[in-house]
């Protein structure tokens, strides 16, 4: 089989296309033939390392997310049969078996059924973005633990950066669950993407007063904020959040410290919830997987231009270029076509 690997951390140039033996399947494992691999910021950050080149042993296949078909199953696996369509998650987290390969072998709990009618493109876009968005939307103390149609009725959600992959998934999941969704964007073009994703109100933070506009749209405040840029937005978040609301933060950049308006946050009993989907609890992850799969089956997590998330495509041999595109801030979802299934 063909696989992309790296044996040292560094820039995209450390990625190499190699030939490998087809991996064996042990008890409790599933071998998946990957049709489409999704690329996320976490993938290039893991490949880049801490900034100083370091050896990686065993060599790593990158990329957490993907979709394809079950090729083989190990002893004791009863959830799947050969030929089943699936999406996978956390493939390269503390394991060398990412999705930038024609086949990957994973524990069966990391493999999920892909509902009938849901494309491999959608399946490869679910893992990191949608699971992160689900946790952010359910982090409020008085909110639902698992999203479903109507579970966010009466709730107003503010999604910062609605044109990004996580922001896009948060808009889609929140609207599917019945919330009123406000989102911020940086350009008219991104406003169009957020509208296509289903946002009810769109605020251009470069040309509008975000606090004034959000307070106009939600006079009692927003209950949940899905935050991509806390360093810049925290003061605004506290200004517009409702009493008892939650700011769910899923990105950290340098500098890592976030200034928080403490007294204003105390007065409103604001909760700050940091989100890293890899290390959420088993219950939280199970709820997210179930909800995301149901939303995908309902057609609520579609991707592509018409749904607010343009697709940027590469082939397996060009995985380095795919990583460079994500690192460079490509708008939309970067996908790698691995096998023509």
pLDDT tens by residue, 217-252: 999 999 999 999 999 999 999 999 999 999 999 986
User: What domains sit in the chain, N to C, each tagged with a CATH number?
Assistant: 2-125+309-337 (3.90.180.10), 129-274 (3.90.180.10)
Low pLDDT (below 70) residues in the chain: 252, 254, 341
- Calpha distance 82→27 (Å, rounded): 15
SS3 138: coil
Distance CA 44, CA 62 (A): 8
Task: Name the CA radius of gyration of the chain, rounded.
Answer: 20
Instruction: Identify whether the C-beta of residue 25 lies closer than 8 Å to the C-beta of residue 31.
Output: yes
pLDDT per residue as tens digits for the range 60-110: 999 999 999 999 999 999 999 999 999 999 999 999 999 999 999 999 999
pLDDT of residue 340: 73
Residue 280 CA: distances (Å) to CA of 138, 144, 241, 287, 319: 12, 16, 24, 11, 28
Task: Please state, in angstroms and as integers, the Cα–Cα distance from residue 11 to each residue in 6, 44, 91, 332, following that order.
Answer: 10, 8, 21, 21
Distance CA 227, CA 72 (A): 40
Q: For position 257, what pLDDT does the model report?
A: 87
- pLDDT of amino acid 256: 82
pLDDT at residue number 341? 67
pTM as predicted: 0.96
Residue 83 burial class via C-beta count within 10 angstroms: exposed 0-12, middle 13-18, buried 19 and up? exposed
């Amino acid at each position: 089989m063909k696989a992309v690997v790296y044996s040292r951390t560094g820039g995209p140039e450390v990625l190499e296309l190699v030939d490998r033996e087809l991996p064996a399947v042990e008890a409790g494992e599933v071998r998946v033939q990957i049709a489409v691999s999704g690329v996320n910021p976490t993938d290039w950050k893991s490949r880049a390392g801490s900034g100083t080149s370091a050896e990686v042993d065993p060599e790593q296949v990158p990329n957490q997310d993907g979709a394809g078909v079950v090729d083989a199953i190990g002893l004791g696996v009863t959830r799947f049969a050969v030929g089943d369509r699936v999406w996978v998650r956390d493939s390269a987290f503390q394991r060398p078996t990412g999705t930038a390969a024609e086949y990957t072998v994973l524990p069966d709990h990391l493999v999920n059924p892909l509902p009938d009618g849901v494309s491999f493109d959608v399946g490869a876009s679910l893992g990191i973005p949608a699971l992160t968005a689900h946790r952010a939307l359910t982090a409020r103390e008085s909110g639902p633990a698992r999203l479903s149609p109507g579970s966010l009725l009466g709730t107003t959600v503010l999604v910062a950066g609605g044109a990004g992959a996580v922001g896009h998934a948060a808009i889609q999941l929140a609207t599917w669950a019945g919330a009123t969704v406000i989102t911020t964007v940086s350009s008219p073009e991104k406003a169009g993407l957020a509208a296509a994703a289903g946002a009810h109100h769109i605020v251009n933070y470069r040309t509008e007063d975000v606090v004034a506009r959000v307070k106009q749209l939600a006079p009692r405040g927003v209950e949940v904020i899905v935050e991509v840029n806390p360093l810049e937005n925290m003061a605004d978040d506290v200004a517009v959040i409702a009493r008892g609301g939650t700011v769910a933060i899923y990105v950290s950049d340098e500098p890592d410290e976030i200034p928080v308006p403490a007294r204003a946050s105390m007065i409103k009993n604001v909760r700050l919830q940091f989100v890293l989907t890899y290390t959420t609890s088993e219950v939280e992850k199970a709820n997210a997987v179930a909800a995301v799969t149901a939303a995908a089956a309902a057609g609520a997590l579609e991707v592509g231009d018409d749904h607010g998330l343009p697709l940027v495509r590469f082939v397996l041999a060009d995985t380095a270029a795919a990583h460079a595109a994500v690192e460079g801030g490509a708008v939309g979802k970067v996908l790698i076509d691995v096998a023509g299934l």
